[in-house]
Amino acid sequence: MSTPNVEAVKLDELNCWRIRHGQAELLVAQQGAHILSYQLAGEPPLIWLNDEAVFKTGKSIRAGVPVCWPWFGNLSRNPQSVQAMRVGNEPPTAHGLVRAMDWELLGIETEGDSLKVEFVLPYPEGGLPGWPHQVDLKLSIRLDEQLHISLTSENKGAEHVTISQALHSYFAVSDVRNVHVEGLDGLSYIETLDDWKTVTQAGDLHFTGETDRIYLNTPPKLSIVDPHWERRIELTSSGSRSAVIWNPWIDRAAAFSDMADDGWQRMLCIETANVMGDVVTLAPGESHTLGVSIGSKPL
């Protein structure tokens, strides 16, 4: 059994940990319990660490695996049951409330041949801003031959709570124009770039322009096939029936102050999610876990 190497590091204003266990290296920030990068020795990264990412207190990080919770994307595009959970007149932030908050590191410990890292979100007095519901949130990371991420929501209050959420994973690719995604053939998806129309996927997904799609009733397993890097990234999800696939392409990336103009070529987001008709309602005392396991195989 190998002993993990844990190093506390500071990226500009943010406290982070660099964790090495076996062949794996993980970089994670306290803010947002945000996985910033993950790779195996001698291989290209699996999780993309944006060269131009900004590491400032209170600012969301465009890289790695942001946690989107208790709503995903634009709140007004969420089902009414999710919108109704929020109170107040301030404009809601995109992707929820927890990406730019400091989480508490519960511990880093070995379990057999694997390593477990756990974070919890301290419950602020009075609840989250504009969201007065007592739901405990835990992010668990496990390293073995794969990276396993799980987000558990437990309703500690007396009322039902409805959430949408996502593990907004940025995957590292050799060039998004030369990769494709398997496992989507025949699925319905919402084309957000064309008036949110519902369309049916035919064959594998290839990338020729800006992409922002919500796939519905997704299977547990999806794959990113990257011929240049001669690998297949396999994603196995749990607690989810929806996935969001996103790449900003040329014009959108150029408009981002925290992404290189060509950064879009090196990343592809496949977000393990509960969105649209796949939102989660928790009765008092009930919990739900959203999870994804990430690994790679040679082609």
Q: Which sequence positions are flagged as catalytic?
A: 168, 271
In the chain, DSSP finds a helix count (H) and a strand count (E) of: 2, 23
Strands 135-143 and 147-155: antiparallel
In terms of C-beta density within 10 A (0-12 exposed, 13-18 middle, 19 or more buried), how is residue 202 classed? exposed
What are the beta bridge partners of residue 148? 142, 293
Q: What HEC string does 96-128 produce?
A: ECCCCCECEEEEEEEECCEEEEEEECCCCCCCE
Pairwise CA distance, residues 50 & 75, whole Å: 26
Indicate the residue type of 220. Answer: P
Pairwise CA distance, residues 178 & 247, whole Å: 13
